[in-house]
Every structure is written in structure tokens, then in C-alpha cells.
Structure 1
């Protein structure tokens, strides 16, 4: 399961945030982060919009998704999993074809993780070389029609490149929050702080019973996403969505225990030699003991020892405590991503 997409607090930004900038390190050259110059654009087209055919289209979606979200880990199995776990939420998946080739992808579904009627998630992504041709507009039009049929009231998306932010604002979405994505080069050893007395560290791979892990995960999740009323995720739902994520790395996911009680978690996903922090934190009564830094550092140490070369994490721009942990661990700014919202 990818970093949690949720309804953000409804805010009215007083200033338009600075668009995402192209990273200076670690960025694949094929990813386009800035608006395309007019003389580089291909002519407008009228794409064929059709429902996603998972078996036929899946291989095409992986590079397309990565171009829109360069720090997120994705593969065919994870995309298939993400679609499956939201299949009962009035989900719609569409692709846009140009000359028989898939050049764009969009999806939307109700957000059942928050107690807000009509809360909806949506994403539109277009292959970099084919942006500004009307493909995104055609996909967005079909999404708007679907929102009317499912009773959407607030629609939220995430954008991580400048093209996408500009496109979202033209679709009457407003940025409501900004997250900083940070990157860590794991070419140098990771320094793990001393483990406090009474605290033990275990990886998820060492856990036979996931119930205690579920408990700390849900507490930390509600602390991180304090964005509206939430009904706790049932264990079976959590296990399917999170513990069965195809990219979940049980070897680098670390939990801190005080006796038998889990008190901090570093939940990690891995694809090849890249690592992504999906969730991290400590339960409220154990704050101030550097346990969040401890479990993250242990995750990174294990990852480096097992061939990971770079790690990513995303944090809200106002979360000074998380930035302090990331800075101590050596993370550096990579890109900015925005939560955008449209009220219908």
C-alpha cells in the first residue's frame, strides 16, 4: 500500500506554493519535472478513452506512474494490489490511447478511510512527452462525470511534478498542503543510536503475530494523519491493504517493543535497491525518547547491509519533529509534492 492518500484539512491557501523543482541528485534523466517548452510539444489530439484492461495495460502503467511520482516505489504487482483493495469503493480506472498506444492513465474512487461522506481520491497522469496535448483534459472530463454518479463532494489528489500541479490548478484544484520528499544516499554506513534500557527491536519478519504490530501502526497512522474523523481500520482490512502489500519489506520494517508492548514502528517498502518509508512514528506516551529515529536508523542499517542504495521518505512541511529525525539520519531534500483538493 502506498503512502496513505487521505482527505487533507480543508484550507484556503493565501499564496500559491512554489512548484516542485527538479532534484539535483539521484533523479532519473527520463523524468520530466518542468513544463515542456512550446516548441517541444506534440500537436493536440483526441485520445480514445477506455476502461483499464489490467492484463493488457499493466506493464505500460508502471513507467507512466513512475514518471508522475518519481520517489514512489511501484511495480506491476503493487498496482494490481492497489486496484484490488479499492475495488468496492466505486472505483473507475481509465486509460487514454493515442494511435493505439496508452499515453495516459486516471483513476478515482471513494475514500472509505475517513468518516466524510463523498470523500474521493483521484489521480491523472500522462506520459511526459505527450503532456499538453489534451490527454489529461479528456481523462479529467470522464472523472468528473463519474464523481456525479458516486456522490463525490470533496476530491483529493497528490502531485509531485510541476506539470501536474499546473494541470491540477487548471482543473480547479487548490493546493492544501505540501510535503517534502527527502532522499538518503546509503553509500555510507548508518549510525544506529543506542537502544534504551527495556526496549527491544524486532523486524516484521521476526513476528508471527501481527496483532501487536497492527495496534501500533493504527495509533501512529492517526497521529500522522490528523485530518478528520476516522473509524479505526479493522484488522482484516489493514492486513489485506498493508501487510499484504507486495512491496512491503519485512526484513527492514522494524518495531520497538517495551516488554511485549509495541511502541514505535518503521514501516518500509522495497523495490530492487530502493527503499521507501511508508509510515513511521511512536505512540504518544513514548515521545521524547528518540525511538522514532532509532527504528528508522535500524531499518536503514539493515537495508544498506542488504544492498539498498537509496531511501526515500515524505513529511508534511510543518512537521518539524520528523524533519529533525530525517536531518540527523542524513536525508536531503529531493522534491516537493502537494496535496490538492477540489470541493464540488
Structure 2
């Protein structure tokens, strides 16, 4: 077995194909998106046996404070041969080299959870996937008085400009065990939907909702961040923004929209259920202290 970093476009495409094969129910970043995320903090690996790609890995500084994220994945037909273990150790070593005391990962099935537990990982967060099937464009609830909606594409200065005010409040509201620690660079690169609808009041962003489009499966999309500033909650703004994204999806040939919501975010889960989303699967985040034994 050979484990090497991704360096060429062919390596990155092979990395993408492993992810698509292992978790076909989620969108995978395009080659351009992966390249845009290149940094010394991030490590992408490919595992090969006899020249054949059998798995991949990712390690980087996590958005949870003082933590690194690791993702070892092995194609089903090549599991139980030590590939995942070898990948996990390489990835954990990289996180340790960044000076971070904790390492995190995500699992979505029983074998993956058992694998993580073997190495001392324990559950710290849980989230559910909810899915909306689009038969037609839904009706869109009216906007509250005094609010207008624009897209980040039309007003590109608004998204980075709202980070210190609206963005930090939105990120601080996540129901997770460790507060999120997101930089302006990652906010601008990783949290912006396409499209991203921004609700404005007196020129300030007070709400957002958008989609992450899937170039590998154009009939599916993921809800990007849906958030409303605290003083604007309870006025129907979140419903309007969410329905607006669903209407846009229907008009652009998307048949299914899915979203992940933390177990502790009862308000958003309830809103999704009211709008017609059905719960489809559960994801578990696990963590442990470094070094990895």
C-alpha cells in the first residue's frame, strides 16, 4: 500500500471519485473548489494498492475551536485490510503538527462509528439530514415590512461585509459542543451559497439562505446557511428565505434539496418539517484528544 499527498489535477479528481463512491448522497466539491481550498494547513491523501486507488483522506484545521478535522475513507471492496487505520494515523499526525489538541471526524453508519470508537473517539454532536422533494415551485410567504432581498451575486460586497456582525452571530448560534471558529477567508469561501439570498433592512444583512449546487448531480442541491438575526426572528423571514430558495431550485430543474441540522437546533428542524422536509438520515460527529494512540 502507498499513501501519497494529492498534487496533480488527476490526483484531485481521483480523490473526488472516492468521495462520490462512498457518500453519493452528498454533493462533492468540484476540482476548482478543492483547488481553491489549498493551504499548508490542509492535507489531501490518496491510498493505492498496486497502483489502484483504494481510499483517500483529508486533514485540516476544523471550524470548531482548537480542533482539527480528519476524514479517512476506503472504498467498500478494499476495507478491513488496514487502509483506514494507516490513513487515520497519517491524518492525525498532520493535525498534531498544526499544534491542535483535539481531532474530530464525522460518521454516518454503524461500521464507521465502531471504527472510530476503536481509536478512542467518542460522540460529541449529532445532526439529522432532512430532504425536500420538489414536485413544483412552492408558494413563497410575504416578506416582513421594510425588508428587501438581494443576491450575493448582485451585491458581492455584502457577504464579506456582514461577517463581523451578522456572520459571527449566525455562527455562534450553532448547537455544537465547541464554538465555531471561522475566519473571514473561510466564511467567504465555504459558507456562501450559489445562489445566496440576503435579506436587508436599512442596508444591513438581517437574514440569509442559499443553495450549494451539485455539478455531479444537477437535480440535487444542499441548503447552505439559513440564518436570521436575533431581533428579526419570529416575523416569518426564515420561512420566506427558505421557500425562496426552494422556488429557485424548482425553477432551475432541481428535484431534491437536503439540509443538515444539529440535534439541538429544534427551531430549524421544526421549520423544515413545517415546510415539508422529511428526515432521511443521521450523522454523528466524534472527537478525541491528541496524540492518537
If the TM-score is normalised by the length of the shorter chain, which range does it land in? 0.7 to 0.9
Partner residue in 1 for 2:84: 136
The change in CA–CA distance for 1:103 and 1:284 in structure 2 (over 3 A counts) is same
Distance 1:232 1:120 in 2: 13
State how 1:83-162 maps to structure 2 within 5 Å. Answer: 84=38, 87-89=39-41, 91-111=42-62, 113=63, 115-116=65-66, 119-162=67-110
Contact 1:49 1:95 in 2 (8 A): yes
Distance 2:180 2:250 in 1: 36
- Of the three residues 193, 212, 223, the one matched with 1:269 is 212
Partner residue in 2 for 1:12: none
Unaligned runs of 5+ in 2: none
Partner residue in 1 for 2:27: 73
Partner residue in 1 for 2:252: 306
Unaligned runs of 5+ in 1: 1-46
**CA RMSD, Structure 1 to Structure 2 (Å):** 2.3
Distance 1:56 1:139 in 2: 20
**Greater CA drift, 135-144 or 222-231:** 222-231
Distance 2:227 2:172 in 1: 11
User: How far did 1:179 drift?
Assistant: 0.5
SS across alignment from 1:301: helix
Is 1:190 aligned to 2:133, yes or no?
no
Distance 1:195 1:180 in 2: 28
User: How far did 1:264 drift?
Assistant: 0.8
Is 1:326 aligned to 2:272, yes or no?
yes
**Greater CA drift, 307-316 or 184-193:** 184-193
SS across alignment from 2:4: strand
User: How far did 1:294 drift?
Assistant: 1.4
Contact 1:200 1:259 in 2 (8 A): no
Contact 2:124 2:286 in 1 (8 A): yes
Partner residue in 1 for 2:188: 239
TM superposition score normalised by structure 2: 0.87
Q: Deviations over 1:85-127 (max 9, x none)?
A: xx132x332211012111111121233x4553xx211111111
The change in CA–CA distance for 1:306 and 1:127 in structure 2 (over 3 A counts) is same
SS across alignment from 1:324: helix
Aligned length: 284
User: How far did 1:148 drift?
Assistant: 4.4
The change in CA–CA distance for 1:88 and 1:57 in structure 2 (over 3 A counts) is closer
Q: Deviations over 1:268-299 (max 9, x none)?
A: 21122221112111111111112112111101
User: How far did 1:50 drift?
Assistant: 1.9
The change in CA–CA distance for 1:181 and 1:151 in structure 2 (over 3 A counts) is same
Distance 1:173 1:231 in 2: 21
- Of the three residues 136, 153, 157, the one matched with 1:209 is 157
User: How far did 1:249 drift?
Assistant: 1.1
State how 1:255-266 maps to structure 2 within 5 Å. Answer: 255-266=198-209
The change in CA–CA distance for 1:66 and 1:217 in structure 2 (over 3 A counts) is farther
SS across alignment from 1:307: coil
Contact 2:191 2:224 in 1 (8 A): no
TM superposition score normalised by structure 1: 0.75
Distance 1:273 1:143 in 2: 33
Partner residue in 1 for 2:172: 222
